[in-house]
Amino acid sequence: MAFGSGVILRYTGQAEQDAGTERTIMKMKLAEIARVVGATCATGDADSPTVTGVCFDTRQLQPGDLFIPLNGERDGHSFIPQAAAAGAAATFVAADHAPITTSLPMLVVPDPLTALQQLAQYYLLMKVNPKVVAITGSNGKTTTKDMTAAVLATQYHVVKTPDNYNNEIGVPMTILGMETNTEVLVLEMGMDRSGQLHHMSTLTEPDVAVITMIGEAHIEFFKTRDKIADAKLEITDGLKEDGTFIYNGDEPLLRERATAVPQQQKTFGLDPQNNLFAKDIESFETHTDFSLSKWPDLRFTIPVMGEYNVTNALAAILVGRRFHVKPEAIQSALAHFTITANRTQWLTGDAGEQLLSDVYNANPTAMKLVLRDFAGFPCTGRRIAVIGDMLELGDATAELHAGVADALAPEQIPVVYLYGSAVQALRDRLATTYPAEAVHYYPQDRQADLIADLQRTVRYDDIVLLKASHGLHLENVVDALVAGTHA
């Protein structure tokens, strides 16, 4: 990503619910920011400009923003002239780049990213001081974030992580985008290495920490699920002493490690040993129904498919109860929450076919769960699976891709399209169970051929599942099928 002109841009905050109040944005004097980050500032308090936002992409910069020159594909400092022209109030400058000629007030700091994080922590803890819910997991963290924010928004003024702002840059950007009247901040936290969640947790000091599940995501870097579990547990490192740790109790690796966490704990899952567990689950194409032994008179519905999404809902329910949201309000919120795009999202293709787009992320556990649900959906035509590579699986890549065959049967999903390089292992495994003409393989440089073949063969009465890691960009295939356009 080129952090002077990247794709993920400026976030000014968007509450889940307005709660009858006007939006109130961040306002800080530059001199105060200088004190917070330990920088020198040429202006005094009296004539110090007011900062009303932060931005690291000059194409999205608004007047009054503090420009953050981050290093990506290009050095963000090279975009300072554009930031000045767009009306920035000031800019950070790394000490090893100073002096820089600009009309903007400059705050010279050792590292702009570290300064951004320091500013975010100050704004979070000293200026707004909302309750913080931090959510992580190998799968389901975005959906759980969306569900949790919807539940809490029935009673509080809530801001949640937008899109995938879930790393060391996205978390502080989300914080600094909060309205000053925010009561609860719901943060999604991702990780691909040890220490990452520790850093974000200690920065935000959450009141509630949630782990959705432990899967194989990033096993290339961690080598074992045990080490993934160790890294996920870092989300509790900054948990307040009176905070609550909520986790998937069906996962033995989490139960073992939770014994070292001194804070209050609540578990969710499908096993009755959990504090909250689901029963009588019914999964349909566009929704899933379930009951809880805790409230036998209430039947819950979530507008997404799959048993695995029920466990995400259970996590959101526990968070809601931690904040005293009534069961009936939780029931209503879950029934109507809005899911982030491209996560088990149903769309209609140009030929009239139904598309199940789940192309934002993929790991072997999630892939098998989605395929097994998809295999049971009613269909007058054919069920067609379009499967792309799952990334960051390391030495286990071939084995884990081949293992997806366990969730594929020709009598349930008669046609399979494979896209990428790692899925060749799955192609080879399927050769023992599928007719040769039912499995279609495309290298990653042949996406246009994949699109053309799907458009030629998919019929109005088919249903099509598309799932892969985001790096395969199957969203392009989804878009082409919806629009009826060729690559």
| CA contacts within 13 A on the Cβ side of 116 | 29
Q: Report the C-alpha gap between 27 and 43 in whole angstroms.
A: 17
CATH number of 165's domain: 3.40.1190.10
Q: Do residues 197 and 301 share a domain? A: yes
Handedness of CA 334, 335, 338, 340 (dihedral sign): positive
Q: Give the domain-ending residue among 112, 129, 146.
A: 129
Q: What is the pLDDT of residue 2?
A: 33
**Is 143 a known ligand-binding residue?**
yes
Q: Do residues 122 and 232 share a domain? A: no
Q: Do residues 183 and 244 share a domain? A: yes
**Is 167 a known ligand-binding residue?**
no
User: Which of 157, 121, 169 lies closest to 10 in space, CA to CA?
Assistant: 169
**Is 38 a known ligand-binding residue?**
no
Q: What is the pLDDT of residue 121?
A: 98
Q: Give the domain-ending residue among 336, 362, 388.
A: 336
Q: How does pLDDT run across 18-47, given as a tens digit for each residue? A: 333 344 578 999 999 999 999 977 555 556
Q: What is the pLDDT of residue 436?
A: 96
**Is 139 a known ligand-binding residue?**
yes
CATH number of 473's domain: 3.90.190.20
Q: Give the domain-ending residue among 62, 94, 129.
A: 129
What interhelical angle do 307-322 and 364-374 show, nearest 10? 110
Which two tokens mark 54? 């932060």
Which two tokens mark 102? 């600009």
Q: Do residues 221 and 108 share a domain? A: no
Decide: 452 and 417 in contact? Cβ < 8 Å.
Answer: no
Q: Do residues 122 and 27 share a domain? A: yes
Q: Do residues 166 and 124 share a domain? A: no
Q: What is the pLDDT of residue 409?
A: 96
Q: Do residues 186 and 297 share a domain? A: yes
Q: How does pLDDT run across 205-248, given as a tens digit for each residue? A: 999 999 998 865 555 555 577 888 899 999 999 999 999 999 99
**Is 140 a known ligand-binding residue?**
yes
Q: What is the pLDDT of residue 216?
A: 57
Q: Do residues 33 and 159 share a domain? A: no
Q: Report the C-alpha gap between 458 and 450 in whole angstroms.
A: 12
Q: What is the pLDDT of residue 293?
A: 81
Q: Do residues 109 and 38 share a domain? A: yes
Q: Do residues 397 and 474 share a domain? A: yes
Q: Do residues 13 and 80 share a domain? A: yes
Q: What is the pLDDT of residue 392?
A: 81
Q: Do residues 155 and 279 share a domain? A: yes
State if pTM tops 0.75.
yes
The number of beta carbons lying within 10 Å of the beta carbon of residue 483 is: 10
pLDDT in tens, the chain (487 residues): 333 333 233 333 433 433 333 445 789 999 999 999 999 775 555 568 899 999 999 999 999 999 999 988 889 999 999 999 999 999 999 999 988 888 899 999 999 999 999 999 999 999 999 999 999 998 889 999 999 999 999 999 999 999 879 999 999 999 999 999 999 999 999 988 889 999 999 999 999 999 998 865 555 555 577 888 899 999 999 999 999 999 999 999 999 999 999 999 999 999 999 999 999 999 887 899 999 988 989 999 999 888 889 999 999 999 999 999 999 999 999 999 987 765 678 899 999 999 999 888 888 888 998 899 899 888 999 999 999 999 888 888 999 999 999 999 999 999 999 999 999 999 999 999 999 999 999 999 999 999 999 999 999 999 999 999 989 999 999 999 998 875 5
Write the single-letter amino acid at 156: Y
The number of beta carbons lying within 10 Å of the beta carbon of residue 95 is: 11
CATH number of 38's domain: 3.40.1390.10
Q: What is the pLDDT of residue 223?
A: 59
Q: What is the pLDDT of residue 98?
A: 81
Domain total for the chain?
3
Which range marks the domain in which residue 88 is found? 1-129
